[in-house]
Amino acid sequence: MICEEIIDKELQEKYQKLVETDNLLPIKISKFYMKKLIEEIDMIGKGGPLYRSVVPVRDKINIKTSVETRDYVEERKHNPIKNCDYVIQKYNDRLVFIITDVCFSHCQYCFRTYNLSKFQKSNLKETIENKIYTLKKYLKSNKNIKEIIFSGGDPLSIGYDNMKYALEKLNKWDIRVHTRAIVYDPLVFNKRMIKLLKKYNVRVVFHINHPYEIDELVEEKIKEIGKYGIRMYAQFPLLRGINDHSQVLIKLLVKMDELNIRPLSIFIPDPISYGAVNRISLSRIEKIMDEVNWNTPSWVNSTRFVMDTTIGKVRRENIIKRQGKCITFMRDGKTVNYYDLDDGIDIASDVNILLWKK
């Protein structure tokens, strides 16, 4: 149970009802991240960037926008195997393997909230052995697949033995692992796990959203992973109240560069239910993009701002029409509509709160 020092009882009860009725994920905060959270609360009170990452605020429940959906990316449309919801393929040469539905902490901005809550009651509960057997059977009939992306949940939550089994069975393919374990529970990256990832030449993609998530221990672990020659990347969402200012993004991108992490993408939040609290208007997103691009060298601003959609990732240059709040993107001859926030919702965060450490 989360104490009232973190979230008041009334809001916690309201949120718990939505967990039961609207498929939101319950509040879950790792011990390691909780220490950071307490430090932030002691300095600036509730509602700071780390707080909003893992604790629901009232606006999550109260603020809605005109067009929202449970699953904007429509992952179910991309399940290539009948009655199998843990394999998702949107591209010809790679697929996503939801190896687990367990996370170290539950991110309040999670864009897979609805699906993960559904997975709790689905065949994702199968053993990892069964899931890999089903996946390999599909891969035998699809020779185009070159890369398997371990996702979830958090793949690192399955533990060493399960990860070893998965990598051994899938060693013919390139493996990419997406994880937030580095900021939620960095000690998961012990020497045994690091050596395992190195042995199978795994690409590790960190999800780090804010520079304050990289403390001394996290930095130490990243350097240790790097010493083994493991290729490290990063991607993260652009979130109101967490990192919606160019100064925050630049600070984070520069820190990643110092640690030899290659940032790949900054994601525009999906227009999902209960997600308006995290979203930013497209006009301000473009302003932030320009500030980052115009005020940094190429080794910083080469990071892409993208939106994930049911037709694949799209960028600003893929916009073919703007009509009111409806923005149309085109990729490979296919179009998809994105609906901007209603007016009055997007209030820019105070950079002195986002970067409260002096």
Read off the pLDDT band of 1 (50, 70, 90).
Answer: low
pTM assigned to the model: 0.95
Domains and CATH numbers, the chain: 64-354 (3.20.20.70)
pLDDT at 39 over 80: yes
Q: What is the pLDDT of residue 112?
A: 84
Q: Average pLDDT over the chain, rounded to whole?
A: 94
Q: Report the C-alpha gap between 167 and 148 in whole angstroms.
A: 10
pLDDT digits (tens, 9 = 90+) for 297-312: 999 999 999 999 999 9
Which burial class, exposed, middle or buried, applies to 254 when counting CB atoms under 10 A from its CB (0-12, 13-18, 19+)?
middle
Q: What is the pLDDT of residue 358?
A: 75
Residues with Cβ < 8 Å from 241, sequence gap 6 or more?
47, 49, 52, 57, 277, 278, 349, 354
Read off the pLDDT band of 119 (50, 70, 90).
Answer: low
Q: What is the pLDDT of residue 292?
A: 97
pLDDT at 74 over 60: yes
Q: What is the pLDDT of residue 89?
A: 97
Which token pair is 227?
């010493």
CA torsion 303-350-104-216 (nearest 10°) is: 80
pLDDT digits (tens, 9 = 90+) for 246-267: 999 999 999 999 999 999 999 9
The proportion of the chain whose per-residue pLDDT surpasses 70, expressed as a percent, equals: 96
pLDDT at 176 over 90: yes
pLDDT digits (tens, 9 = 90+) for 192-223: 999 999 999 999 999 999 999 999 999 999 99
Which token pair is 328?
């149309």
Q: What is the pLDDT of residue 125?
A: 66
User: Residues 80, 95: contact at Cβ < 8 Å?
Assistant: yes
Which of 116, 52, 61 has the alpha carbon at shortest distance from 86? Answer: 116
Q: Report the C-alpha gap between 287 and 285 in whole angstroms.
A: 5
Bridge partners for 204 per DSSP: 177, 232
Residues with Cβ < 8 Å from 236, sequence gap 6 or more?
207, 208, 209, 243, 252, 263, 266, 267
Q: Report the C-alpha gap between 1 and 12 in whole angstroms.
A: 10
Element of type H or E holding 330: strand 326-331
